[in-house]
């Protein structure tokens, strides 16, 4: 069953307004709660996968004949593909073609600059670091997701942004938290929080898929940053390892994501939250398996407190509503 959209609901809303059942302002408010298009998440996901396969196929075909292609032809082909994919995506969006066509086109437009930069440096024997390459790529697609409203370009944009963090830290040897690895973990955790929070702005543009991707990727980045922080540090028995606190924070964070997902009817948050909770519980068990008593007490205490908290909040909510 297709979800209702502004286009499908507008005739009914106009009829209600003409019948004086609701006001014009109420009708606009009703329409604002629904997406402008009925693009299926499955269609977008498989379009992204298909587009990535096409990109990899083009790379392999060009690589097989790379040495025999003249420099001018290489550079012209890259610029031609980039221009054609951008124009095709723009025209497909304007003419309301099948969503897969502009989506794949914009995906090409987002990935081709990275391929072009790498190949151009090889063609003209230019040197440079990986950080400079990714930074130039990120700058070249900086506004593409926000001009095209393409979910796939937003995912590529997020990948390029997340790649800048470890490359910048290792390039300039930043060690703000003991060493470079811990600095990368903390920066990933902070960046994930910023991304998840800023992704809520997509709701104002009616782009719930981009919001879902931003929330999910932000949650993954924060969880990954906290999960990997302080995993290799040795502590005496008299000290509480920081990794236990960090993993506990990941558990609480994803528990909150599951709660928000249920309350706001956001299935990706619920699914991702449960996956991360399972990973954390299994990780705690595997890391503390040598001490069954402490592990058992930890799980028993956490589970009991969680159950008590759930029932307390439920009772409080019922008393407030009454």
Cα–Cα distance, 149 to 204 (Å, whole number)? 13
* pLDDT for res 199: 92
User: 314: helix, coil or strand?
Assistant: helix
Domain ranges of the chain: 44-173
Residue 64: burial class (beta carbons within 10 Å; 0-12, 13-18, 19+): exposed
* pLDDT for res 245: 85
* pLDDT for res 1: 46
219: left (phi over 0), alpha (psi -120 to 50) or beta: alpha
CA angle in degrees (0–180, nearest 5) for 205-273-229: 105
* Count of beta carbons in the 10 Å neighbourhood of residue 109: 28
User: 179: helix, coil or strand?
Assistant: strand
Q: Is the dihedral of CA 142, 146, 149, 154 positive or negative?
A: positive
* pLDDT for res 139: 92
Helix axes 100-123, 71-94, angle to 10 degrees: 160
| Tens digit of pLDDT at every position of the chain (322 positions) | 456 677 777 888 888 888 888 888 888 888 777 766 655 666 666 766 777 777 777 777 776 776 777 777 777 877 787 888 888 888 888 887 777 788 888 888 888 888 778 777 766 666 667 888 889 899 989 999 998 888 889 989 999 999 998 899 888 888 777 788 888 889 999 999 999 999 999 988 888 888 989 999 999 999 999 988 876 555 555 455 788 888 889 989 998 998 888 888 888 888 888 888 888 877 777 776 656 556 566 667 667 766 766 666 666 656 644 5
């Amino acid at each position: 069953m297709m979800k209702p959209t502004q286009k499908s609901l507008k005739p009914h809303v106009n009829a209600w307004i003409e019948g004086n059942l609701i006001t014009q302002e109420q009708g606009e408010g009703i329409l604002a709660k629904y997406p402008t298009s009925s693009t299926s998440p499955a269609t977008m996901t498989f379009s992204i996968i298909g587009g990535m396969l096409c990109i990899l196929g083009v790379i392999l075909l060009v690589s097989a004949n790379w040495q025999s292609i003249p420099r001018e032809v290489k550079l012209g082909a890259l610029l031609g593909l980039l221009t054609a994919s951008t124009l095709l995506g723009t025209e497909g969006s304007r003419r309301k073609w099948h969503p897969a066509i502009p989506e794949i086109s914009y995906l090409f437009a987002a990935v081709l600059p990275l391929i072009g930069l790498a190949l151009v440096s090889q063609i003209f024997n230019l040197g440079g670091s990986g950080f400079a390459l990714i930074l130039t790529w990120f700058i070249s697609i900086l506004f593409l997701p926000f001009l095209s409203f393409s979910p796939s370009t937003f995912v590529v944009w997020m990948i390029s942004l997340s790649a800048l963090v470890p490359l910048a830290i290792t390039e300039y040897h930043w060690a703000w938290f003991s060493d470079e690895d811990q600095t990368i973990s903390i920066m990933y955790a902070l960046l994930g929080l910023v991304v998840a929070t800023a992704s809520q702005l997509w709701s104002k543009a009616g782009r719930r898929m981009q919001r879902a991707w931003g929330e999910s990727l932000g949650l993954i980045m924060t969880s990954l940053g906290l999960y990997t922080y302080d995993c290799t540090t040795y502590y005496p028995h008299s000290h509480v390892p920081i990794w236990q606190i960090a993993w506990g924070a990941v558990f609480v964070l994803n528990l909150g994501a599951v709660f928000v997902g249920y309350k706001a009817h956001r299935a990706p948050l619920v699914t991702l939250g449960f996956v991360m909770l399972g990973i954390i519980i299994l990780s705690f068990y595997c890391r503390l398996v040598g001490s069954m008593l402490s592990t058992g007490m930890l799980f028993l205490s956490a589970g009991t407190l969680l159950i008590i908290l759930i029932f307390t909040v439920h009772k409080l909510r019922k008393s407030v509503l009454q």
